[in-house]
Amino acid sequence: MVSRWLRRFSSTPSWRSNTPNGASNTREAPFSVFRDVPALRQYRKQLLLSKRTVGLVPTMGALHDGHLSLIRQAAIENTDVFVSIFVNPTQFGVNEDLDKYPRTWEADIQKLKELDEELALARTGSARGRISAIFAPTNKAMYPTLPPTSELDGYGSFVTITPLATLLEGASRPVFFRGVATVCMKLFNIVTPDRVYFGQKDVQQTVVIKRMVTDLHVGTDVKLGPTIREEDGLAMSSRNVMLGARRRKVGLVLYQALKEAERAYLSGKRDREDILRPANRLVESIAREQEALPPSERATFELDYISLADVDSLEELQVVDVSRGAVLSGAVKMLPIESPQPGEDCGNNGGDTPVRLIDNIII
């Protein structure tokens, strides 16, 4: 079912250029780093005239193996891979964690250098591409006329996708998908990629962007890569470094709950309540276990939602149509660490910031 659903989102030898005007070269990097739009567009025009194809992997940095897997996928399907690194302020709510979102530029560039070396060694023909450009714009470059705003009624030019952007994550984070759709439209206009790559972990984001591309006649194919997980099943996320050991262990509750729901479906259950009941029971059980522990040991959390939704509309389902399948998804907020102990691993920000985790399983 997963591979069938992934396919629904899929619709010359390597050449290296000199650094174009307006781009910067990270020391010994095999790719160019662009900070502004005109230089990137000039470079993209050269590739277009050379009949080369571009795959774009949008990121906010703090790269992990999930991002790298998307870049590998893009390199198989395109001659050139562009990676954008931009922490987009308009997708963070007023009281969200924009200022504490991890920024790891040097580590990101090093990972991209190493991956590009891997791609160079693995090339099997003209279809195998390389990383050729990093787009790391300033806020001013991306929002040239007005400062970016996180206010729901703020001024600016935005892309809204309704009702998709108001469901699930959108219900809890009302500006999130407006910001995501807006920045993606900007990136698509600037880069004009042949293909763009997202991970299944952010499944609602992919559905929203797919709808935007279709409705607004954007000339790019939206591609989806599988969720990449840690050995214990936790979905890889840039925010995981903020958890610390205590919250990291309990943060598995969401994936475990979704697996409980999946097992119910695989056992023959089709009604919503029958599928979600074991998931909710598991969450309640783990929450009680943590509350019973002393503050110096526990990691508390709040369940935002567990959803059983249609794969296209994201509307909640009462009964699963086996021929279509469904999306099991959820979100939890890991609350700040209580009574941190001397020497305890509390994560990058000391454990005083809530960390939101999302995940999903396609059934």
Q: What is the pLDDT of residues 182-240, one digit of tens each?
A: 999 999 999 999 999 999 999 999 999 999 999 999 999 999 999 999 999 999 999 99
6 by Cβ neighbours in 10 Å (0-12 / 13-18 / 19+) ranks as: middle
pLDDT of residue 21: 44
pLDDT of residue 18: 36
Q: Is 197 helix (H, G, I), strand (E, B) or coil?
A: strand
Amino acid at 227: T
Which residues are marked as active site?
67
- Say which residues have a Cβ less than 8 Å from residue 125's Cβ, sequence separation at least 6: none
For residue 171, give both structure tokens: 């219900």
Give Cα 268 distance to the centre of its chain. 31
Helices (H), 26-104: 37-49, 65-77
d(CA 222, CA 199): 11
pLDDT of residue 124: 58
Domains delineated in the chain: 2-225 (3.40.50.620), 238-362 (3.30.1300.10)
Spans of the chain, pLDDT less than 50: 10-21, 26-27, 126
Q: Which H or E run contains 202?
A: none
C-alpha radius of gyration, the chain, whole number? 21
Cα–Cα separations (whole angstroms), residue 341 to 293, 297, 346: 15, 9, 9
